[in-house]
Structure formats: structure tokens, C-alpha cells
Amino acid sequence: QVQLNQWGAGPLKPSETLSLTCAVYSASFSRYYWSWIRQPPGKGLEWIGEVNYSGSTDYNTSLESRVTISVDTSKNHVSLKLTSVTAADTAVYYCARVAALGSSGWYFDYWGQGTLVTVTS
């Protein structure tokens, strides 16, 4: 069984740094990539990026300059930091497990409960 439990601070003011953590309860933590995905209120899903057990990352190019995703292997935690936030970063943020299909791409098979982060002055 796989469970993802996430938390983080909010609300934030413009220019502050968003910080979220996702605790992964899974015996196979080291075998997968772990992603962050966000959803602005009333809008669709946007992939933010991913990290694996060894700390290798991939980011959405539109957010790459402001995003850091990291892993704490001693706690099975995955963290997201997004700097210089604006109102446009207001969203529900989800962590999710990445399931790979080799050259056919990948999908997200387990999701956290979501954390609403509001950016307001």
C-alpha cells in the first residue's frame, strides 16, 4: 500500500518562498520518481517537476528558474520549494508517485491529499 501525506505553510505574501513536504509511506520509495503537480482554483492540472531517490530532478521549463524539488531519504520525504511567489502561484499542490512505462512515458498512480497555498498581499 502506498500513502502520501503532505503539508506546508500558508498563506504567503508575494515574493515569499513556498515550501511543502510530502511524506511517502511505501516500502518501494527508492524505486520511483516522485512528482509535484498543482491546480489553480477552478483550473486544470500543471506538472511542476519530479525527483528520484538519488536526487535526480526534472522540472517544468516554465517554472524551472524558481523551483527546487528535493528528497530526504532518511525520512522518505519529498519537498517542494518555489521562490518569488505571486498570486498566479495560488493553487492546490499535490505530490504524486510516478509510474514509468519506459519509452511510452509515465503517469501518476498515487496522489497526496492536496495542500491549498494562497498567495495574497
Partner 1 sequence: QSVLTQPPSVSGAPGQRVTISCAGTISNIGTGYDVHWYQQLPGTAPKLLIYGSTERPSGVSDRFSGSKSGTSASLAISGLQAEDEGDYYCQSYDNGLSGSIFGGGTKLTVL
Per CB under 8 A, the list member of 9, 45, 87, 116 interacting with partner 1 is: 45
* Choice between 72 and 109, CB closer to partner 1: 109
C-beta closer to partner 1: residue 10 or 114: 114
Which of 28, 54, 104, 121 touches partner 1 (CB under 8 A)?
Answer: 104
Q: Are 49 and 96 in contact (CB under 8 A)?
A: no
Q: How far, in Å, are 30, 90, 95, 97, 115 from residue 41 at the CA level?
A: 32, 8, 17, 22, 12
Out of 12, 85, 108, 119, which residue is the one contacting partner 1 (CB under 8 A)?
Answer: 108
Phi, psi of 109 (to 5 degrees): -100, -20
